[in-house]
Structure 1
Amino acid sequence: MESIKHRKNSETYTFTTPAADSSIEILNEFYWTQESEPHVARRKAILKKYPEVSKLTGYEPITKWYVLGVVALQLSVAYYLRNTSPISWKFFTLAYVIGATSNQAIFLAIHELSHNLLFKKPLHNKLFAIFTNVPIGIPYSASFQPYHQLHHKFLGDSFLDTDLPTKYEGILLSNVLGKVFFATCQIFFYALRPMFITQIQFTYIHLFNIVFQISFDVALVKLSGWNSLSYFIMSSFLAGSLHPCAGHFIAEHYVLNEENKPRSAKELDNHVNIAPELLPMETFSYYGPLNALTWNVGYHNEHHDFPYIAWTKLPELRRIAAEFYEPLPQISSWCGVLWWFCFNDINTLWNRVKRVGKQKSGKKVGIRLDLNE
Structure 2
Amino acid sequence: MSSSVSTATITPRTSNKSGDIMNNTAGKEEASPAGDGGADYDRFFWTYTEEPHRSRRQAIIKAHPEVLKLCGPEPLTFPLVLAVVSLQVFCAYALRDTAVLSWPYFLTAYVVGATANQNLFLAIHEITHNLAFKSPLANRLLAVVANLPIGIPYSASFRPYHLTHHKSLGVDGLDTDLPTALEAWFLDSVAGKAFFATFQILFYALRPMMVYQLPLTWIHAFNVVAQLAFDYILVKYVGGRALGYLIMSSFLAGSLHPCAGHFIAEHYVFGQHSRSLDAAAAKTAAPEETYSYYGVLNFFTYNVGLHNEHHDFPAIPWTRLWKLNEIANEFYRDLPCHHSWVGVIWQFILDKEVGLWCRVKRKEGGRKVGGTAGHAQPMN
TM-score (norm. length: structure 1): 0.88
Instruction: Give the 5 Å matches for 1:158-307.
Output: 158-262=172-276, 281-307=288-314
- % of aligned pairs identical? 53
Asked if the contact 1:220/1:229 (under 8 Å) is kept, the reply is yes
Pair 1:75–1:358, CA change in 2 (3 A): closer
Per the TM alignment, residue 19 of structure 1 is displaced from its structure 2 partner at its CA by: 2.1
Per the TM alignment, residue 356 of structure 1 is displaced from its structure 2 partner at its CA by: 2.7
Pair 1:17–1:291, CA change in 2 (3 A): farther
What secondary structure does 1:188 align onto? helix
Letter in 2 for 1:305: D
Per the TM alignment, residue 65 of structure 1 is displaced from its structure 2 partner at its CA by: 1.0
Instruction: Give the 5 Å matches for 1:346-365.
Output: 346-357=353-364
What secondary structure does 1:79 align onto? helix
Letter in 2 for 1:58: G
Partner of 2:321: 314
Pair 1:16–1:326, CA change in 2 (3 A): farther
Per the TM alignment, residue 369 of structure 1 is displaced from its structure 2 partner at its CA by: 3.4
Letter in 1 for 2:371: L
Asked if the contact 1:18/1:27 (under 8 Å) is kept, the reply is no
Residue 19 of structure 1 pairs with residue 41 of structure 2: no
- Match of residue 372, structure 2, among 363, 367, 370: 370
Q: Structure 2 unaligned segments of length 5 or more: list them.
A: 27-38, 279-283, 376-380
Asked if the contact 2:151/2:243 (under 8 Å) is kept, the reply is yes
Per the TM alignment, residue 86 of structure 1 is displaced from its structure 2 partner at its CA by: 1.2
Asked if the contact 1:38/1:280 (under 8 Å) is kept, the reply is no
Partners of 1:108 and 1:245 in 2: how far apart? Answer: 11
Partners of 1:358 and 1:307 in 2: how far apart? Answer: 18
Partners of 1:200 and 1:83 in 2: how far apart? Answer: 40
Partner of 2:128: 114
Partners of 1:46 and 1:330 in 2: how far apart? Answer: 19
Residue 82 of structure 1 pairs with residue 96 of structure 2: yes
What secondary structure does 2:9 align onto? strand
What secondary structure does 1:258 align onto? helix
Q: Deviations over 1:255-292 (max 9, x none)?
A: 0113554289xxxxxxxxxxx98x95110000000000
Letter in 2 for 1:198: Y
Partner of 1:45: 59
Partners of 1:194 and 1:220 in 2: how far apart? Answer: 29
Partners of 1:371 and 1:159 in 2: how far apart? Answer: 20
- Aligned positions, number: 348
Q: Structure 1 unaligned segments of length 5 or more: list them.
A: 1-5, 265-275, 360-364
Partners of 1:337 and 1:63 in 2: how far apart? Answer: 28
More off after superposition, 296-305 vs 16-25: 16-25
Partners of 1:358 and 1:145 in 2: how far apart? Answer: 20
Partner of 1:327: 334
Partners of 1:42 and 1:80 in 2: how far apart? Answer: 48
Asked if the contact 1:263/1:327 (under 8 Å) is kept, the reply is no
Partners of 1:83 and 1:175 in 2: how far apart? Answer: 41
Per the TM alignment, residue 20 of structure 1 is displaced from its structure 2 partner at its CA by: 3.9
Asked if the contact 2:6/2:49 (under 8 Å) is kept, the reply is no
TM-score (norm. length: structure 2): 0.87
Partners of 1:86 and 1:62 in 2: how far apart? Answer: 34
Write 1 or 2 for the structure with the bigger share of strand. 1
Letter in 1 for 2:301: T
Per the TM alignment, residue 357 of structure 1 is displaced from its structure 2 partner at its CA by: 2.5
Partner of 1:342: 349
Pair 1:89–1:15, CA change in 2 (3 A): same
Pair 1:215–1:7, CA change in 2 (3 A): closer
Partner of 1:142: 156
More off after superposition, 23-32 vs 143-152: 23-32
Per the TM alignment, residue 16 of structure 1 is displaced from its structure 2 partner at its CA by: 3.9
Partners of 1:122 and 1:99 in 2: how far apart? Answer: 28
Pair 1:280–1:309, CA change in 2 (3 A): farther
Asked if the contact 2:269/2:287 (under 8 Å) is kept, the reply is no
Per the TM alignment, residue 358 of structure 1 is displaced from its structure 2 partner at its CA by: 7.9
Pair 1:217–1:7, CA change in 2 (3 A): closer
Asked if the contact 1:198/1:367 (under 8 Å) is kept, the reply is no
Per the TM alignment, residue 63 of structure 1 is displaced from its structure 2 partner at its CA by: 1.3
What secondary structure does 1:157 align onto? coil
Partners of 2:197 and 2:70 in 1: how far apart? Answer: 35
Partner of 1:102: 116
Partners of 2:72 and 2:244 in 1: how far apart? Answer: 37
Letter in 2 for 1:19: S
Per the TM alignment, residue 28 of structure 1 is displaced from its structure 2 partner at its CA by: 4.7
